[in-house]
Amino acid sequence: MTRRLALVGLGPGDPELVTAQAARVLNEVDYFLVADKTEQHPGTADLIAMREAICARHVRKKRRLVSVPDPERDRTDPPDYEGAVRTWHEARAVRWEQTLLDHPGDAAILVWGDPTLYDSAIRLAHRIVERGVVDVEVEVVPGLSSVQLLAARHGLVLNTIGGSITITTGRRLLEDAAAGGDNLLVMLDGTLTCRRLPDPAGWRIWWGANLGSAHEQLVAGDLDRVADEIWARRALARQACGWVMDTYLLRRGGVSREPADPG
């Protein structure tokens, strides 16, 4: 019998930011799956607790929350980065597949933020389907992303008038900026790579960490003036929670102070 595997975006942490669709699906499945990264990153236990709080807020009857220990990942910047990530994804697929075999019924994978943006849950689910060991039908339920919350907190329109926006990572930031990118949304940047830009005075930044949590941090201003404050606030967020997830928007030169879009 085909089972339901729902990838449910929970938003960035605030139970009030969970969509009605996500809440409905959470009430329809038999149990929840969540990646447990506490073995490698002990501070992330709080992320599991936050998922439990979200479920307690929105789910009428108690469901099992099944933690799946996350396999180790090579984070040393290996020469074959994509190959290392694919190896990690395969190891994750095997563990999630075994968990589904051990727990019958329909399941929801609880995804932080939105499953479609810098998250491996969809690739993971597709690989489980490809392997053919467990018969599942995959459903993707979108969630509010940290990108959207960053823009809302700072009162921003992400794109410039008639312009575009590039969503990138810390690994790619310097390359994208050198190629002429002037409106860059940066994710997965654990070292705050923007501090290494050759012309920090030519950029404006809007930054946020642990958005949607009780320990949210926000900073905006000219990069050369606020970079040290952001680094310090980032440390405060990690100290408060044991983890930090941040994102920021960078705009170069004149596009940082454009008038509001009349549309």
User: What is the residue extent of each domain of the chain?
Assistant: 3-141, 146-257
User: How far is the C-alpha of 212 from the C-alpha of 241, rounded, in Å?
Assistant: 13
Q: Can you give the pLDDT at residue 79? A: 80
Q: For residues 231-246, give the mean pLDDT.
A: 91
pLDDT band at 43 (very low <50, low <70, confident <90, very high): low
User: How far is the C-alpha of 114 from the C-alpha of 111, rounded, in Å?
Assistant: 7
Average pLDDT of every residue of the chain = 90
Q: For residues 34-53, give the mean pLDDT.
A: 74
- Take residue 191 and report the two structure tokens written for it: 């070292």
- Write out pLDDT tens, residues 93-123: 999 999 999 999 999 999 999 999 999 999 9
CA distances 35 to 16, 87, 153, 228, 231, Å, are 22, 17, 28, 33, 28
Q: For residues 203-216, give the mean pLDDT.
A: 94
The values of phi and psi at residue 31, to 5°, are: -160, 170
Question: What CATH fold (topology level) applies to the domain 3-141?
Answer: Cobalt-precorrin-4 Transmethylase; domain 1 (3.40.1010)
Q: Which of 174, 194, 189, 191 is nearest to 246 (CA)?
A: 189
Q: Can you give the pLDDT at residue 128? A: 96
User: How far is the C-alpha of 16 from the C-alpha of 157, rounded, in Å?
Assistant: 22
- Write out pLDDT tens, residues 139-160: 999 999 999 999 999 999 999 9
Residue type, 2: T
Looking at 3.90.1150.200, 3.30.450.40, 3.40.50.1970, 3.30.950.10, the CATH number of the domain 146-257 comes to 3.30.950.10
The values of phi and psi at residue 220, to 5°, are: -140, 145
- Write out pLDDT tens, residues 65-92: 999 988 877 666 778 888 888 888 899 9
CB 114 within 8 A of CB 145: yes
Q: For residues 207-230, give the mean pLDDT.
A: 95
